[in-house]
Amino acid sequence: WGGEQYEISFKIWQCKGSMLNIPCSRVGHVYRGPGLIRNDQGLNQQHPNSVDKNYKRVAEVWMDNYKHFLYAVKPDIGGITNYDEGLEKRFQIKKRLKCHNFKWYLKNVIKDTLRTAYEPDRAWDFIKNIKTNKCLKFHKNSMILSPCNSAQSFRWTWINEIREDEHCMLTDGKKLKWDWCHEKQGNQHFLFHKEKGWIYSDTYKLCLSFNENENLIFSPCQENDQKQKWHINMRNLMIPEPWAINAIHESRDP
């Protein structure tokens, strides 16, 4: 029990079947009790890890390298090790039926997903300022500096967005804000200079900094300004080093 709703969809579509959405249809899901399962001795409390274990089994079989997106936001699932009993038969079925890969599923079945979901992220973690040891955090319709915690994780995408779910950082050349991602770069296009620690607006040719009140602003890049030095934990999710994010070329270097 757990993950079967995803596995049914992945398996049917990727193995050349199809499912129909029926307008005005009604489906009821009778959810079973709080973790109870039935065995020969009657009802017993379900092992708390069993649902996550089944999610991992689905991800390993059907999601290819895109499973790392799941593991990045659900590290407890990624860390499960005793999950692979009997999976070889599922891989054999997948091979025998010549099933499509998961990228095909993203591009042909759930076409309403954003394009960057098809490409590997450059990094995924908190963004910390070296001077204050505080991290960027979404707050209302803007960004603030706040003590770092695990809830402040951002994705640095293939097209150089800094995003959380479907919201992206942006700037008007003065302040750092956030709004829905538009994937057109421009005011949501940021580069990271790994050696200098700059978060650089390629549109306005300015670096992320903050003022005396710790309000986030953009200002001319200064190599020795500690307020402009940031740290991002570069996690190699799906692409090898060297990171393309180190992409402020000499011709663009402020």
Please check whether residue 246 lies inside any domain of the structure.
Answer: no
The tally of domains found in the chain comes to 2
Task: Please provide residue 176's backbone torsions phi and psi, each rounded to the nearest 5 degrees.
Answer: -100, 125
pLDDT digits (tens, 9 = 90+) for 209-254: 999 899 999 999 998 899 999 988 765 544 433 333 344 343 333 3
Please check whether residue 60 lies inside any domain of the structure.
Answer: yes
Please check whether residue 82 lies inside any domain of the structure.
Answer: yes
Kindly state whether residues 226 and 157 are assigned to the same domain.
yes
CB 132 within 8 A of CB 214: yes
DSSP 214: -
Kindly state whether residues 101 and 192 are assigned to the same domain.
no
Structure tokens at 150: 């695990």
- Read off the pTM: 0.55
Question: According to the model, what pLDDT value does residue 114 have?
Answer: 58
Q: What percent of the chain has pLDDT over 70?
A: 79
Please check whether residue 251 lies inside any domain of the structure.
Answer: no
Q: What is the CATH number of the domain that holds 91?
A: 1.10.8.460
Q: What percent of the chain has pLDDT over 90?
A: 29
Please check whether residue 163 lies inside any domain of the structure.
Answer: yes
Cα–Cα distance measured from residue 220 to residue 199, given in angstroms and rounded to the nearest whole number:
11
Domain final residue pick, 82, 115, 148: 115
DSSP assignment of 11-45 equals HHHHTT------TT---------SSEEEETTEEEE
Please check whether residue 29 lies inside any domain of the structure.
Answer: no
Kindly state whether residues 169 and 135 are assigned to the same domain.
yes
Domain that holds residue 193: 123-234
CB 107 within 8 A of CB 118: yes
pLDDT digits (tens, 9 = 90+) for 60-90: 999 998 888 788 778 888 888 888 888 999 9
pLDDT digits (tens, 9 = 90+) for 183-193: 788 888 888 88
Kindly state whether residues 11 and 90 are assigned to the same domain.
yes
Q: Which of 16-20, 192-196, 210-214 has the lowest mean pLDDT?
A: 192-196
